Amino acid sequence: MPLLLHHAEAVLTLQGPNGPRAGAAMAELSILRNASLVTAADGTIAWVGPADALPAEHRSLESIDCRGKTLMPALVDSHTHLVWGGDRRDELEMRLAGADYEAIFAAGGGILSSVKQTRAATDDELYAQSLARIRRMRRSGTTTFEIKSGYGLDLETELRQLRTARRLAEEGGFRIRTTCLAAHAVPAEARAGEAERAAFVERICQEILPAVAKAGVADYCDAFCDRGAFTPEESRQVLEKGRALGMGLRVHANEFGHTGGAILAAELNAFSADHLLHLDDDERRALREAGVVATLLPGTSLVLGKPFADGRALVQAGVAIAVATDCNPGSCALESLSMVLGLACYGNRLSPAEAVCAVTHNAAASLGLDTQVGSLVPGRSADLLVLDTPDYRDLVYHAGSPLIETVIQRGIVV
C-alpha cells in the first residue's frame, strides 16, 4: 500500500553520483528540511521533496506524521558471516580473561569450532538460527545484507550455508548478496602438512568454487588473506578462480598486519578490501587507484581489543569507505549496524555524515546495489528508517539508543 511519510524535520536523501563516494563527497548527505516521502504500491519510492510541494494526488494517502523526526535510507550491512551453527560464548569468556584470538584459532578452536558446529547443524536449524539473527539485525535498521559462507570448508556445507542465505531472501524478504568464503581457514582434515594444505587450496579451486558457481548461489568470492589463514599466493589462486567463474571479489585483508591482502585486492580490482587495521600510504594509494572500497569493521576491533582502522587517513587518501558489522560467531557477534555506525566515529574517526554514507550508499555501491538501495531517490526501493530525533547525529551522540522508530522494507512497515 502506498504510504505518505509527511513533514519530516530532515530527510537524508544521499542523492548524488552512482558508484562509491570518496573524500568530501562522503560527507554530502543531500538533506531536505521539512520534507515528505511517498512510497508506491510496488515498494519503490514514488516521490520525495519539500512537504509543501507534495503533489495533490498524494495528499489523501495513508500517512505517518514525521514531525520532529528524520528519514534516512535503511542500512546496508556489506560484510557479515550471519549463517552459522552453534555459538562460541565460551571462547568469548576465555578471551575476556586474556586468551588470544589468533592463539585459539591456531589451536584448532575459533573458526574451526564454528565449522564443526555448522557441519553438525541441519538445514532447518541453520535457517532458524540465522532467521532469528537477521530479524534482530533488521530491528537495528538493516534491510540489505552481504552473507558469506566459510564455516563449511567442504562442498556440501558451503553449499548449505549459501542456500540458507538465499532462503533468507526468498522466504524472509531480505535483500541479500552472497559470497563464497571457502578460503576462510584450513580445515582440521587438511592440517597434517604442506601437501594437504596445498591440496585443500586445489580443492577450493577445482571442486568447491566450480560447484558453487554451477549452483548459482554466490555473487562474490572472498579469501581470508592473513597470518594464520591464507598467504597472498594462495588467496590469489582462489580469487582468480572465482573471477574466472564470474564472481566479484572481496578480500579479508590486513587484519593482523601488512600481510599482503590490501595490495592483492588492488591488483585484482576487488569490489572491497575489508578490515584494514594495518595500512600504509602505499597500500592506501593502491586501493584508491584500483577503486577498491575499504570496508571497515570497528565492532571487530572493539571485541578483539585490536587497533581501529584509520578512517581519517583513508578519507584523506581519497579511498571510498563502507562500514559493516562483520557479524560472525567469534571475532564480533554484534548485530546492530546502527551501533557500529557510532563505533566508526569513535574508533575509526569518521564524521557522523561520513559514517552514514558508509553504512548506506557506499555499502550498497560495494555490492553493486546502489541504484536500488542506500539513497532516497524516486524509483529506488523504499527501504528506509524513521528516526525519533530531528538530528541524525544522535545516532553517534547516543549510539546504541533505540532511536530507530520504524523500519520500512520495500515499502512495507516491518
Residue ranges in contact with Fe ion by CB under 5 A: 326
Identify the H or E element spanning 276: none
Examine residue 411 and tell whether it contacts ligand NIG (CB under 6 A). Answer: no
- The one of ligand NIG, Fe ion, none whose footprint includes residue 200, by CB under 5 to 8 A per kind, is none
State the minimum distance, in angstroms, from the CB of residue 331 to ligand NIG.
4
Report which residue's Cβ sits closest to ligand NIG: 330
Amino acid sitting at position 49: G
Closest CA to 351 of 290, 410, 395: 395
* CB 221, CB 242: distance < 8 Å: yes
- The one of ligand NIG, Fe ion, none whose footprint includes residue 329, by CB under 5 to 8 A per kind, is ligand NIG
Cα separation of 301 and 310, whole Å? Answer: 12
Q: Can you say whether residue 326 is alpha, beta or left, with left for phi > 0 and alpha for psi between -120 and 50 degrees?
A: left
Among 146, 234, 310, 326, binds ligand NIG (CB under 6 A): 326
Among 15, 80, 114, 259, binds ligand NIG (CB under 6 A): 114
Examine residue 248 and tell whether it contacts ligand NIG (CB under 6 A). Answer: no
Examine residue 298 and tell whether it contacts ligand NIG (CB under 6 A). Answer: no
State the minimum distance, in angstroms, from the CB of residue 328 to Fe ion.
6
Binding mask 358-397 for ligand NIG (x = CB under 6 A): ----------------------------------------
Examine residue 118 and tell whether it contacts ligand NIG (CB under 6 A). Answer: no
- The one of ligand NIG, Fe ion, none whose footprint includes residue 110, by CB under 5 to 8 A per kind, is ligand NIG
Cα separation of 160 and 158, whole Å? Answer: 5
Coil vs helix vs strand at 170: helix
Beta-bridged to residue 273, according to DSSP, are: 251, 294
220-225 and 248-253 beta bridge pairing: parallel
Examine residue 110 and tell whether it contacts ligand NIG (CB under 6 A). Answer: yes
Examine residue 111 and tell whether it contacts ligand NIG (CB under 6 A). Answer: yes
Examine residue 288 and tell whether it contacts ligand NIG (CB under 6 A). Answer: no
- The one of Fe ion, ligand NIG, none whose footprint includes residue 410, by CB under 5 to 8 A per kind, is none
The span from the first CA to the last CA of the chain, in angstroms, equals 13
Q: Which window, 22-30, 134-142, 236-244, 323-331, contacts ligand NIG (CB under 6 A)?
A: 323-331
- The one of ligand NIG, Fe ion, none whose footprint includes residue 330, by CB under 5 to 8 A per kind, is ligand NIG
State the minimum distance, in angstroms, from the CB of residue 184 to Fe ion.
8
Cα separation of 195 and 301, whole Å? Answer: 34
Examine residue 330 and tell whether it contacts ligand NIG (CB under 6 A). Answer: yes
State the minimum distance, in angstroms, from the CB of residue 400 to Fe ion.
22
Q: What is the DSSP letter of 193?
A: S
Examine residue 224 and tell whether it contacts ligand NIG (CB under 6 A). Answer: yes
Q: Which three cell numbers stand for residue 286?
A: 593502491
Q: Which is nearer to ligand NIG, 118 or 140 (CB)?
A: 118
Q: Which is nearer to ligand NIG, 48 or 115 (CB)?
A: 115
Which residues have CB under 8 Å from 353's CB, separation 6+?
26, 27, 28, 29
Coil vs helix vs strand at 75: strand
Q: Which is nearer to Fe ion, 14 or 270 (CB)?
A: 270
Cα separation of 287 and 283, whole Å? Answer: 6
Q: Which is nearer to Fe ion, 151 or 200 (CB)?
A: 151
State the minimum distance, in angstroms, from the CB of residue 160 to ligand NIG.
17
Strands (E), 95-174: 142-148
Question: What's the chain's Rg over C-alpha atoms?
Answer: 21
* CB 34, CB 8: distance < 8 Å: yes
Q: Which three cell numbers stand for residue 80?
A: 557479515
* CB 249, CB 183: distance < 8 Å: no
- The one of ligand NIG, Fe ion, none whose footprint includes residue 221, by CB under 5 to 8 A per kind, is none
* CB 185, CB 118: distance < 8 Å: no
* CB 402, CB 393: distance < 8 Å: no
- The one of ligand NIG, Fe ion, none whose footprint includes residue 146, by CB under 5 to 8 A per kind, is none
> Within 57-96, which residues bind ligand NIG (CB under 6 A)?
81
Q: Summarize as ranges the residues that interact with ligand NIG (CB under 6 A).
A: 81, 110-111, 114, 224, 252, 255, 300, 326, 328-331
